[in-house]
Amino acid sequence: MRTAMKLAGRMIRDERGQDLAEYAIALAVITIAVIAAVQLVGTNITSLWNQAATTLQNAAS
């Protein structure tokens, strides 16, 4: 029983995996932000190209 208590105490104090978890969370947040930004910019660029195409079609006719 004491061995299990010692092991549990060591596991609670062990912080080696904590850094990895923090980096993983930070990476996930950054990835989500980049995906959202790319989608927003992509939508805006598509809109600008459509406006340019419409303007050129109207000018040609």
The two tokens of residue 20 are 């990895």
pLDDT, residue 39, reads 92
pLDDT at 34 over 80: yes
**Over 80: is that where the pLDDT of 14 sits?**
no
17 has pLDDT over 70: no
Q: What percent of the chain has pLDDT over 90?
A: 52
| Three-state secondary structure of the chain | CHHHHHHHHHHHHCCHHHHHHHHHHHHHHHHHHHHHHHHHHHHHHHHHHHHHHHHHHHHHC
